[in-house]
Amino acid sequence: YPMPIVLLDSPGGSYWKDWEEFLKKNLLKQEWISEEDLSLFHVTDDIENAVDEVIGFYSVYNSMRYVKGRLVLRLHVEPSNEFIEKLNDEFKDILDSGIITKVNAHELEKDDDHLTDLPRISLMFNRKNLGRLRQMIDRINSELAPQSSEEEDEEE
């Protein structure tokens, strides 16, 4: 399952940047990985940026599970029908079949009782394009995350 993977270097350090360049020059160039696979991790040397990456990952996205072969993403915010259409247009390449739809909690999710009220989307994920799935979660988080007001920003 996608999760925030942060490769945190010491300030000004280049260990993880060099590692990322190695991936690009060797694995990506040989097409052993895809460009989208680079979305599975975040390289930084800034602790605040690392914290923002982890917090941002869970700003709207909560969790996922497979229910009868369909991948169900549980969210903290109800997506609009228009937004679901955008996801279908942008991420149709990760679908085995069908479309991305809004769904309610399935009977099989009763063991996750504390999550039953969360909004959900469901898709027939191809189980190959994990980098693209991570990009879809990032899109959901960036588009649906509640925006902080200017007053809250000034208080910090």
Give the bridge partners for 74, in sequence order: 63, 120
| Tokens describing residue 24 | 């690009």
Mean confidence (pLDDT) of the chain: 93
What average pLDDT score do residues 51-70 get? 97
pLDDT at 151: 42
Can you give the residue ranges of every domain in the chain? 6-57, 61-144
What average pLDDT score do residues 32-37 get? 97
pLDDT at 147: 78
Give the bridge partners for 61, in sequence order: 75
Evaluate if residue 73 carries a pLDDT over 50.
yes
Evaluate if residue 41 carries a pLDDT over 70.
yes
pLDDT at 104: 92
Write b or e for each residue in 14-33: b if 16 or more Cβ atoms lie within 10 A of its Cβ, otherwise e.
eebeeebeebeeeebeeeeb
pLDDT in tens, 81-136: 999 999 999 999 999 999 999 999 998 888 888 899 999 999 999 999 999 999 99
- Residues 83 and 106 sit within 8 Å (Cβ to Cβ): no
pLDDT at 112: 81
| Confidence bin at 45 (pLDDT 50/70/90) | very high
pLDDT at 109: 84
pTM: 0.90
Separation of alpha carbons 118 and 29, rounded Å = 41
Separation of alpha carbons 39 and 78, rounded Å = 24
